[in-house]
Structure 1
Amino acid sequence: MNTRITACAALVALTAALTACSSTDDGSSEQAATAKPTPSATQSGLTDEQKAQAREAAGLPPTPQAADWKAYIKTLDAIDPDIVHGKEDKAVSRGIDTCSTYKRYPDDSAQQVKVTRMRFTSPTHPEGRDAPTAQKILAAAHKHICPTY
């Protein structure tokens, strides 16, 4: 958990530093408005490589490739279509976060299930999922999003 907090703090500090560098001495943002971002820089001012390093430090895997994405969504829909409920991006994001649970609690399957139960809410399941469903979701995330965890 400390690694994740440290990585998030570093990401916030880096973003703040990059934002502070974009204004001129007189406080105007004219120079910032005319400055062109480098091709590898993203909207947040971080390069893809910097984002990947921050994700790794936080225990988050990269966004799954298209085939893995589809397989993950298909698996969740087979468990219960309400898990995805038409929001694939949200389901994948939650799956990526679920992978970080493996990193935080590598030998504590009860905690992994508990966190997953609370993470996968929906309009018809605002309180989260039951334990057997959470175990299936964990298995799907592990298989399709973070098989090396």
Structure 2
Amino acid sequence: MRTRTTTAAALTVLALALTACNSEEEPAAVDSRSRSAGISAEDKAKAREAAGLPPEPSATARYRFLEAWDAIDRRVSKPGTDEQAVSRGLNQCGSINASPDDRDKLVRQTLERFTITTRLPEISTPETDGKILDAVHTYLCPDF
């Protein structure tokens, strides 16, 4: 299921990027940020929905997720990786959306996605991982 969701997301983003292109040739020096600026917020939201992901979280939701993340265990959060944690959380939302009733599977995916088993094996327990999963679900995708 994860492969199909990832493939569908990649194809959706590619299709959106192609439709955002115009027939004029872009200068070679244009970076990817400039090219992606042509995709509307509405198109991005549609792509996220098609990929089974929630809308981009508000600043408040992001802050509360990161606050909950730190409260679980200060060691899970590395300096300068807040965006990575939110991104991984949003990806976990896709897994929650795909298997909402299989908590054991979701907890295992959380372990893998957030690399807790390899980085912090001493705190890699179903209890800790369940707390991370709950923080993701509560703050990043409460409607899933």
Name the TM-score, length of structure 1 as normaliser: 0.75
Work out the CA distance in 2 between the residues paired with 1:20 and 1:82: 47
Report % sequence identity: 36
Number of equivalenced pairs? 135
Distance 1:46 1:93 in 2: 19
Root-mean-square deviation (CA, aligned residues, Å) is 2.9
User: After the TM superposition, which residues 23-62 of structure 1 pair with which residues of structure 2 at under 5 Å, given as runs?
Assistant: 23=25, 32-33=26-27, 43-44=35-36, 45-62=38-55
Q: Which runs of 5+ in 2 are unaligned?
A: 28-33
Deviations along 1:70-97, one digit per CA (max 9) or x if unpaired, are 1111111110122221211111111111
Which whole-Å CA distance do the structure 1 matches of 2:5 and 2:88 have between them?
A: 19
SS of 1:43's equivalent in the other structure is: helix
1:5 CA displacement = 2.7
Equivalent of 1:72 in 65, 71, 76: 65
| Aligned counterpart, 2:109 | 115
Higher RCO, Cα 8 Å, sep 6+: 2
Alignment of 1:1-149 (within 5 A): 1=1, 2=4, 4-16=6-18, 18-19=20-21, 21-23=23-25, 32-33=26-27, 43-44=35-36, 45-86=38-79, 87-121=81-115, 125=119, 129-149=124-144
Q: Which consecutive residues of structure 1, in runs of 5 or more, have no partner in the other structure?
A: 24-31, 34-41
Structure 1 residues 129 and 43, CA gap change in structure 2 (3 angstroms): farther
Larger helix proportion of the pair: 2
What amino acid sits opposite 2:35 in the alignment?
A: Q
Shift of the alpha carbon at 1:105? 1.1
**Range that drifts further, 72-81 or 4-13:** 4-13
Matching residue's letter, 1:68? A
Q: 1:105 to 1:18 in 2, by over 3 A?
A: same
